[in-house]
Amino acid sequence: MTLSLTVSDEVRALAPGFTHVAVEAHGLTNGPSTDAGSALLDDAARRLAERLAGRAPHEDPHMAAWREVYTAFGSKPSRTRNSAEALAKRALSEAGLPRINLLVDLYNAVSVAHLIPVGGEDLDHIQGGMRLVRATGDEEFVTVAVGEEVVEHPDAGEVVWRDEAGVTCRRWNWRQGPRTRLTEQTTSAVFLLEGMAPMPVPAIEAAAAELAELLEKLSPGARITVRSAAT
């Protein structure tokens, strides 16, 4: 069954230039990071540097648009960066991009190469559909701090992804909760590629097609579908 993804009217009013493309995949094979995945991340950092041509990530028009929206819902974008800007900053630093596991490395590479926020959720741990909403502040976000599980609550008005069990990602795409993250045991996942105007929808769709191709190479025989919010 295809995962239901909805964007609330309140979020659409806040960010009329927002769109997303979902890549849903079943029958995946995941595992530890590999040399091939590491090479993809290195190549993504090279492609990013070419795209930016000496600019800082936040100076890119797409990242600037995300910063405007973060400010609009009360978040400080220089402190809580969207996931693509945070990864891009890491990619251009001496530390470089982290190596997590095969699936995470693939979608991080696509995110960095195209400068588009990309998130991955384990479908076996999603309860019901996923909704992008403005939080009331009462929702639960289960995370880990100092090795212990803790429950946080988003700020009222904050944009969050959530399912029936609670918040899965805070501040739109800033921090994902451990409940739905992709692990080496993940076999079914949905990947969300998120864009703001002025990034054209076809550019987001091209990034999604690249991710789908990488997933097919990683897991031959996997059932992969790509859904654009624009269609």
Q: What are phi and psi of 93, to 5 degrees?
A: -90, 170
Distance of alpha carbon 173 from its chain centroid, rounded? 6
Angstrom distance (rounded) from CA 114 to CA 204: 8
**The tokens of 180 are what?**
């739905």
| Angle (nearest 5°) at CA 111 between 106 and 114 | 120
At position 78, the amino acid (one-letter code) is S
Please tell me the predicted confidence (pLDDT) of residue 2: 87
For position 179, what pLDDT does the model report? 96
Q: For residues 74-101, give the mean pLDDT.
A: 96
* Residue 231 confidence (pLDDT) above 60: no
The amino acid at 188: S
Q: Can you give the pTM of this predicted structure?
A: 0.96
pLDDT for position 23: 98
* 5-228 CATH pick, 1.20.1740.10, 3.90.79.10, 3.50.40.10, 3.40.50.2000: 3.50.40.10
Write phi, then psi, for 2 (nearest 5 degrees).
-75, 135
- The pLDDT > 90 percentage for the chain reads 95
Strand pairing of 5-7 and 130-134?
parallel
Determine phi and psi for 181, rounding to 5 degrees.
-70, 160
Lowest mean pLDDT among 30-34, 113-117, 146-150, 205-209: 146-150
Element (H, E) at 189: strand 188-196
Task: Read off the tokens for 175.
Answer: 């921090």
H helices within 93-226, ranges in order? 102-114, 201-218
Given the DSSP bridges, would you call strands 148-152 and 223-228 parallel, antiparallel or unpaired? Answer: unpaired
What does the pLDDT look like over 3-38, one tens digit per residue? 999 999 999 999 999 999 999 999 999 999 999 999
Average pLDDT for the chain: 96
Contact 48, 88 (CB under 8 A): yes
For the segment 156-214, what is each residue's pLDDT rounded down to a tens digit? 999 999 999 999 999 999 999 999 999 999 999 999 999 999 999 999 999 999 999 99
Task: Write the single-letter amino acid at 8.
Answer: S
Give the pLDDT of residue 168: 98
- Specify burial of residue 221 (Cβ count, 10 A radius: 0-12, 13-18, 19+): exposed
The answer to whether 193 and 116 are in contact (CB under 8 A) is yes
Can you give the residue ranges of every domain in the chain?
5-228
Q: What is the pLDDT of residue 3?
A: 94
Q: Is the pLDDT of residue 221 over 80?
A: yes
The residues, ordered by sequence, that sit 6+ positions from 59 with a Cβ below 8 Å of its Cβ are 52
